[in-house]
Each structure stands twice: as C-alpha cells, then as structure tokens.
C-alpha cells in the first residue's frame, strides 16, 4: 500500500515539473499540460516506489516513515532510491554493515529511540549522500573507530542520550563536513584529546548532561571553525584559565546549569572573541569582570539565575558594544553608579526577579538609548531615584509583567505605568540627608585603644555615610580592616595608632544631596620619642582648612603641655642613665687594663642607651653613640 502525504499545489507542481524533465522527456507530454502530466507521473511512480508494510511512504519526497512500528529489524521492501528513512522508536538492537548498504541515495536516517547497543564499524560507509544521522536515545556504550567512516557529507550527527562513557581519539575523523554535533550523554566521563580531530567544518557543538568534571580543553582545541558551543547541565565546579584555547571562530558560548560552578578565573575566556555569552544557573556569587574585559565585540550577555548580588561601577566599561544585558533571577541588591559605563548602545536590560530597591539613571552611560527594561519583581522604592524611569514609562517596554512600587505606601502595588502625574510629584520624592549629631565630637584616646566616632543621618532615600580621614582617604562600610564604618554610620578604629590623630569628616550622601560633620581625634602616644613627628602632625592639623573649631585649639594646647613635661623628664632620666653607664664603663676598663697591664691602644666603646620602663626613650633618637677614648 502506498500513501501520499498531502502537499501544497505549488510543491506538487514543482516536483511534477522535475519528474517530467528527468524521467519522461521521451514522452509526448508537454509541460504546459499539467493535469495529463500528473496522471502519468502517478502511474509511473506507483510501479517504482514500493513501501514496506506498516510504514508510510511518500514517492515525491522519497521518504519512508516507520515511526513507532515495533520493528525488531530493518523492514524489507524499502525502495532503493529512498532519501529519508525514519526508523525512530522501534526495537532495533544493532546496526550491521549490510543493513543500509543498498540505500546509497539515503540523505537522512533517523534511528533515534531504539535499543541499539552496538554499531559495527563501516555500518554507514556506502552512504555518501547522507547529511543527517540520528542515533539519539539508544543504548550505545562505545563508538568504535570506523563507525562513521564514509559519511563525508554528513552535516548533522546526533548521538545524544546514550550510554557513552568515553569518546575515543579519531572517532569522528571522516566527518569533514559535519556542522552540528549533539553529544548529550548521561555518562560521558572523558573526551580523549583527539576525539574531535577531523571535524573541520563543525560549527555547533552541544555537550550536556555528562559526568565531565572539567572542560575538555584539549579536545575542543581541534575545532577551529566552531561558532557555537553549548555546555549545559554539567557538574563542573571550577573553570580553569585558558579553558577555551584555539577556538578562534567561536562567537556564542553558553554555560548553563552548572549548579556547582563558583570559580571563574580572569583568564578563563582568554583568546575568545565572543558576541554572545551565557553563564546562567550557576553558583557564581561574584561577577567575573576580569574574565570578560577583552570581549569588546560582545553584544548579548546573559548572567541570569546566578547568586550575584552586586554590579560594581566602571568594571564593565570595556564591553563597548553590548546591547543586551540579562541578569534576571539573581540576588542583585545593588547596581552601583556607572555600572554600565562605556555601554553606549545598551538597549535591553533584564533584571527582573532580583532584590533591587532602585535603579539610578547614573548607572547607565546612555540612558536615553534604553528601550526595554525588565525590572518587575523587585522591591522598588519609588522615590526621586526612579523618577527618570517614571518619566519614560510610556515609551519604555517593561515586558509582560509590569513593575510596581513596594514603597511608599500611597502607591504600593500600583504598576508604574498607571501612576498618574499628581501622585508622582506627591510621592516620588527625596529629602536631603541631615546628620543627627549637631556637635563636633572630640576624642582623646591612648594609642592602641579602639575609638568610635558617631554619625547617623536621616533622609529619603536612606543616606550612605562615609568618612574621610585626616589624610583624605575615604572609608566606607566596605573597608573592613583596622578602620571601618558601620552601617549606622559610626567610624571605628579597632586599635588606634599615633598617626590617626587629626580631623575626620563624616559625609552623608543620598540622591537629594549631602550633609557633613567634622570630628577630632587625638591619639596619645605611649612614648614621647616621636616628639618631632607629633609636632609635625599638630601643625598639619592646624593647616587643615576644615578645622575651624575652638576644640582644635584646646586639643593643641593640651597635647603640647603634655609633650613638654614628658620630654623634660625623659631627658633628665636619659642623662642620669648615660652618666651612670659611662662611669661604670670607666671603672670596668680601669680594672681590666690593670689586670692586663697593657693599655696603650685606642679602645672603641659602643654605647646604646637603654629604654627605661617609664617610656623615657629620650635618647633613642640620637641612636647608638660611639666614643673614642684614649686610655691613659
Ligand atoms: C556531497 O554533496 C555534494 C553536494 O552537496 C555533492 O556534490 C557531492 O557529490 C557529495 N559527495 C559525495 C561523496 O557524495
Ligand atoms: C554519571 O552520573 C550519574 C548521576 O550522577 C550516575 O548515576 C552515573 O553512574 C555516572 N556515570 C558514570 C560512568 O560515572
Ligand atoms: C553554592 O555556594 C554556596 C556558598 O558558597 C554553598 O553553600 C553551596 O553548597 C553551593 N552549591 C552547590 C550546588 O555547590
Ligand atoms: C571579533 O569578531 C568580530 C565579529 O564578531 C570581528 O568583526 C572582529 O574583527 C573580531 N576581532 C578579532 C580580533 O578577531
Ligand atoms: C538567559 O538565560 C536564561 C536561562 O538560561 C533563559 O531562560 C533566558 O531566556 C535567557 N535570555 C535570553 C534573552 O536569551
Ligand atoms: C528576562 O528574563 C526572564 C527570566 O526572568 C526571561 O524569561 C525573559 O526571556 C528575559 N527577557 C528577555 C527580553 O530576554
Ligand atoms: C555635596 O553637595 C554639594 C552641593 O550641595 C555639592 O557641590 C558637592 O559636590 C556634594 N558633595 C558630595 C561628596 O556629594
């Protein structure tokens, strides 16, 4: 029996013309008599294109479809000129060299979904016209050398979903024209270094659901023409530097569903020139800025579904051609100002399903070029920082889910698009920071002791407090060394040092403005030896233009008085010690010279004044003293 699948009139007309030209040239039928032609073609084909029982065939497309027919072996009666043979979802167990040897016209062979565990070498060797072969969903454990011999015109090969554990060297050697290779295997543990040798035309490679523990760098390096590489569902936890070498044509790299990936070193993508990069559904918590720096041709970046919480300012400035940035479903709490510095052409930003409370205009290099902004499902605080988005709310696309404000109360839960003009100016506002402390703090502490200076500020949005040290270094809550700023604005120095003395300025900043406050710190040095240093610092303290308070003067007098006293005491004690030691030495020398009887030579005495427990190190600055004594 034979059944023709329905075709459009145009298609059947084309085929018919083709047949007429090729097969029936000798007949008297003319091409412009289509109805007579059709009848004759049908008669001709019904005698030439047979069809195996249980299968469905099409003479026009020369296809034989035996999908899900419980076949245990390849059926008889497949016409020699068959081009498409579909044997998917049957019960075939093996492929032997003779099975397809007579079907030299085959172009497409689908053996997926069988229980094939063994494919003999040379099984497909006479099939020079084949361009697509699927062995997906079988039970193949090992592909032996020579299985794909002769398939030099194959462009698509699917061996995914099998039980392959290892890919041997040269298994794909003859597939010079292969463009797409699907290797999605549950059990693949190792890919031999030369497994991909010979795949000169391969453009797309998908490696997924394998047991690989490392990127098969060596094997991949043979794929000089690879354009797209998809690595999905792998349990690789660390990427190594230079993981993708020699892939000069690679433009699209997808790393998806690597749940344990948390290391992405700076040189991982070295040598690549990508236009799209996906690193999604991994365990990365820090954005790998350095690894991306050289990708100046990147246009689409997708880092969705990671654990990234911050995008720092200025760190992506080399991605000058980026058009789309997707970081949905992460843990973003903050996008710093200038995060997208350099990205002049950014059109699409997708940060939906994060924890952002705002997205400031200053994040972008060219906010006017932004067309699509997906920022739904974030706890947005609608204050003046979001005003720029609200003003563009009728021209910008917010996607299928409208973003809405979580505060202030008055417009909570209302889609941005529906907030009317009067409400905007009523609710969407900010207030300048106001520092609560209104008196200048003055603090005197002993060296080595901890100290705290307070600075808490009110304002909407909540101001960010930072401090400037006497040396103009800015300290924020991100500094967590000896000097730090707590979230409540308090500056803490865990163990003060003498050089911490000076004026500190607290700066509270929010989108509406800033407020500042100065505070003084004097660190009492334990010793007085660094008197000169101290004097220097107090004078620096005085030249500080910001110091105009009376407290500063008090501080100066007090510290100076203390300094003078200690110096006197220590000098005196230093003298006594000195004299004592000199006398003692004289005595010693005298005794010694007496004992020896010879004392006509010069003797060098090196004298280092000792520190006296009470902190009297007055002589220290003089350093070791050397006396040259002429003994009499
Ligand atoms: C491969 O295909 C091309 C056309 O795409 C054809 O000209 C050539 O003969 C084929 N090679 C073999 C070995 O069949
Ligand atoms: C591959 O991983 C799966 C799931 O973890 C496991 O069941 C299977 O035994 C592994 N195969 C090999 C060859 O290690
Ligand atoms: C992801 O990272 C976190 C924190 O480093 C760790 O606790 C967790 O186990 C990691 N998850 C996986 C799947 O490795
Ligand atoms: C990188 O790729 C782009 C096109 O995607 C191309 O124009 C550019 O020349 C390539 N750069 C290098 C260094 O290969
Ligand atoms: C980004 O990656 C996620 C996860 O793979 C995917 O769901 C999403 O469609 C991707 N976005 C784009 C624009 O391709
Ligand atoms: C934005 O991210 C969501 C996932 O939250 C994804 O479904 C969607 O495709 C992305 N939108 C665009 C325009 O890529
Ligand atoms: C503080 O505000 C003033 C104007 O009110 C501005 O000139 C100055 O640059 C601001 N300083 C900081 C650090 O933001």
**pLDDT of 410 higher than 70:** yes
Mutate which of 213, 237, 260 for ligand 3? The one with the most ligand atoms within 8 Å of its CB, which is 260
Q: Is residue 362 part of a domain?
A: no
Binning pLDDT at 50, 70 and 90, where does residue 98 land? confident
Phi then psi for residue 404, to 5 deg, are -140, 165
Q: Looking at residue 426, what is its pLDDT?
A: 86
183 phi, psi to nearest 5 deg: -125, 65
Residue 386's pLDDT is what? 92
Buried b (16+ CB within 10 A) or exposed e, 568-590: eebeebbeebbeeeeeeeeeeee
Per-residue confidence band for 631, with pLDDT thresholds at 50, 70 and 90: very low
Query: What separation in Å is there between the alpha carbon of 233 and the centre of ligand 7?
Result: 50
Residue 561 is predicted with a pLDDT of 38
Ligand 7 pocket, Cβ-based, cut-off 6 angstroms: 507, 509, 513-514
Which atom of ligand 3 is the closest one to the Cα of 283? 1
Nearest ligand to the C-alpha of residue 151? 1
Structure tokens, 171: 């298994």
- Structure confidence at residue 272 (pLDDT): 97
DSSP state of 176: T
Q: What is the pLDDT of residues 58-77, one digit of tens each?
A: 999 999 999 999 999 999 99
Query: Does the residue 437 lie in any domain?
Result: yes
Ligand 7 atom 12 nearest Cα? 514
More confident residue, 581 or 409: 409
Q: What pTM does this model have? A: 0.73
What contacts 24+ positions apart, CB below 8 Å, involve 248-251? 248/224, 248/273, 249/224, 249/225, 250/226, 250/274, 251/227, 251/275, 251/276
CATH number at residue 436: 2.60.40.10
470 in a domain, yes or no? yes
Which tokens is 47 given?
């005698």
Q: How confident is the model at residue 590 (pLDDT cuts 50, 70, 90)?
A: low
Give the model confidence (pLDDT) of 536-563 as tens digits.
443 333 333 333 333 333 333 333 334 4
What lines the ligand 6 site, CB under 6 Å? 304, 326, 328-329, 348, 350, 352-353, 374
b/e map 363-377, b = 16+ CB within 10 Å: bbbebeebeebbbbb
| Residue 50 pLDDT | 85
Please report where in the chains the tokens 């794929």 appear, as a residue.
Answer: 223
- Adjacent-strand bridge partners of 300: 276, 324
Per-residue pLDDT, 577 = 62
pLDDT at 572 over 70: no
pLDDT tens column, 418-438? 888 888 888 888 999 999 988
Residue 545 within a domain: no
Question: Does any ligand 5 atom lie closer than 6 A to the CB of residue 515?
Answer: no
- Interval between CA 207 and ligand 4 midpoint (Å): 25
- Contacts (Cβ under 8 Å, ≥6 apart) of 25: none
Q: How sure is the predictor about 374, in pLDDT bands with cuts at 50, 70 and 90?
A: very high
Tell me what pLDDT residue 528 has. 52
Q: What pLDDT does residue 126 have?
A: 76
514 CA to centre of ligand 7 in angstroms: 6
CA angle 625, 626, 631 (to 5 degrees): 140
Ligand nearest to the CA of 330: 6
Percent of the chain exceeding pLDDT 90 equals 64
Please, which pLDDT band fits residue 417 given cuts at 50, 70 and 90? confident
Q: For residue 526, what pLDDT is reported?
A: 78
For the chain, give the mean pLDDT: 82
What integer pLDDT is reported at residue 19 of this predicted model? 40
Q: Is residue 438 part of a domain?
A: yes
Instruction: State the DSSP code for 480.
Output: B
Tell how far the Cα of 280 is from the centroid of ligand 6, in angstroms. 12
Residue 456 lies in a domain: yes
Ligand 4 neighbours by CB, cut-off 6 Å: 251, 273, 275, 297
The pLDDT confidence band at residue 586, using thresholds 50, 70 and 90, is low
Nearest atom of ligand 2 to the alpha carbon of 235: 5
Q: Which domain holds residue 503?
A: 432-524
Pocket of ligand 2 (CB under 6 A): 165, 186-187, 189, 211
Ligand 4 atom nearest to 248, measured from its CA = 14
Distance from C-alpha of 624 to C-alpha of 569, rounded to nearest angstrom: 21
* CA of 254, closest atom in ligand 5: 5
Residue bearing the CA closest to ligand 2, atom 6:
187
Confidence of residue 161 (pLDDT cuts 50, 70, 90): very high
Ligand 5 neighbour 305 (Cβ under 6 A): yes
Q: pLDDT tens-digit profile of 489-529? A: 999 999 999 999 999 999 999 989 999 999 999 999 876 54
Domains contained in the chain, number = 1
User: Which of 206, 208, 298, 302 to mutate to test ligand 5, by most ligand atoms within 8 A of the CB atom?
Assistant: 302
Asked if 476 and 485 count as a contact pair (C-beta separation under 8 A), the reply is: yes
pLDDT, position 171: 95
- Find out whether 340 and 359 touch, Cβ atoms under 8 Å: no
Residue 493 in domain = yes
- Spell out the long-range contacts of 532-536 with Cβ–Cβ below 8 A and sequence spacing 24 or more: 532/621, 533/498, 533/499, 534/498, 534/559, 534/563, 535/563
Residue 539: the pLDDT is 37
Confidence of residue 567 (pLDDT cuts 50, 70, 90): very low
Task: Looking at the CA of residue 302, tell me the nearest atom of ligand 6.
Answer: 14
Q: How far is the CA of 202 from the centre of ligand 1 (A)?
A: 17
3-state SS of 402-466?
CCEEEECHHHCCCEHHHCCHHHHHHHCCCEEEEECCCCCEEEEEECCCCEEECCCEEEECCCEEE
Residue 172 falls inside a structural domain: no
Cis bond upstream, residue 167 (ω within 30)? no
């Amino acid at each position: 029996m034979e059944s023709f699948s329905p075709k459009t009139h145009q298609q059947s007309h084309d085929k018919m013309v083709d047949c007429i030209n090729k097969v029936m040239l000798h007949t008297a039928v003319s091409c412009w008599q289509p109805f007579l032609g059709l009848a004759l073609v049908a008669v001709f084909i019904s005698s030439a294109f047979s069809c195996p029982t249980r299968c469905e065939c099409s003479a026009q497309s020369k296809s034989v479809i035996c999908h899900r027919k419980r076949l245990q072996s390849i059926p008889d009666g497949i016409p020699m000129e068959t081009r498409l043979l579909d044997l998917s979802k049957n019960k075939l167990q093996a492929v032997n060299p003779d099975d397809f040897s007579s079907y030299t016209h085959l172009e497409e062979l689908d053996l997926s979904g069988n229980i094939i565990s063994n494919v003999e070498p040379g099984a497909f060797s006479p099939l020079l016209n084949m361009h697509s072969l699927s062995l997906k969903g079988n039970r193949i454990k090992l592909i032996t050398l020579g299985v794909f011999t002769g398939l030099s015109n194959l462009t698509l090969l699917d061996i995914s979903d099998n039980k392959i554990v290892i890919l041997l060297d040269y298994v794909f050697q003859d597939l010079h024209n292969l463009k797409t290779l699907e290797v999605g295997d549950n059990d693949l543990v190792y890919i031999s270094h030369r497994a991909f040798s010979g795949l000169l035309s391969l453009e797309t490679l998908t490696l997924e659901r394998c047991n690989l523990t490392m990127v098969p760098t060596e094997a991949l390096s043979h794929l000089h023409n690879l354009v797209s590489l998809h690595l999905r569902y792998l349990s690789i936890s660390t990427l190594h530097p230079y993981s993708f070498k020699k892939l000069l044509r690679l433009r699209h790299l997808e790393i998806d569903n690597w749940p344990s990936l948390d290391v992405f070193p700076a040189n991982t993508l070295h040598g690549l020139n990508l236009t799209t990069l996906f690193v999604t559904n991994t365990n990365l918590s820090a954005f790998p800025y350095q690894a991306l720096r050289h990708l100046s041709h990147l246009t689409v970046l997708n880092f969705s579904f990671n654990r990234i919480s911050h995008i720092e300012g200025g760190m992506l400035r080399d991605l000058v051609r980026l058009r789309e940035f997707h970081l949905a479903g992460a843990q973003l709490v903050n996008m710093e100002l200038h995060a997208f510095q350099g990205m002049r052409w950014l059109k699409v930003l997708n940060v939906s399903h994060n924890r952002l409370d705002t997205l400031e205009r200053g994040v972008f290099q060219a906010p006017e070029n932004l067309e699509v902004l997906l920022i739904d499902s974030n706890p947005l605080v609608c204050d003046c920082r979001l005003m720029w988005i609200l003003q563009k709310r009728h021209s910008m696309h917010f996607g299928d889910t409208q973003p809405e404000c979580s505060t202030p109360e008055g417009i909570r839960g209302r889609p941005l698009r529906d907030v009317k003009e009067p409400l905007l100016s009523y609710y969407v506002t900010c207030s300048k920071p106001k520092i609560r402390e209104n008196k200048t703090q003055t603090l005197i502490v002993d060296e080595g002791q901890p100290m705290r200076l307070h600075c808490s500020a009110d304002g909407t949005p909540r101001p960010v407090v930072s401090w400037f040290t006497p040396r103009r270094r800015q300290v924020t809550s991100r500094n967590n060394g000896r000097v730090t700023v707590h979230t409540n604005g308090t500056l803490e120095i865990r163990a003060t040092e003498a050089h911490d003395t000076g004026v500190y300025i607290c700066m509270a900043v929010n989108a509406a403005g800033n407020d500042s406050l100065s505070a003084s710190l004097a660190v009492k040095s334990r010793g007085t030896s660094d008197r000169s240093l101290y004097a220097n610092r107090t004078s620096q303290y005085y030249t500080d233009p910001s110091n105009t308070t009376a407290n500063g003067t008090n501080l100066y007098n007090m510290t100076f008085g203390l300094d003078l006293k200690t110096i006197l005491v220590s000098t005196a004690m230093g003298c006594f010690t000195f004299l004592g030691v000199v006398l003692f030495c004289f005595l010693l020398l005298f005794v010694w010279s007496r004992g020896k009887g010879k004392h006509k030579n010069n003797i060098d005495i090196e004298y280092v004044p000792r520190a006296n427990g009470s902190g009297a190190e007055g002589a220290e600055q003089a350093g070791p003293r050397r006396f040259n004594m002429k003994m009499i």
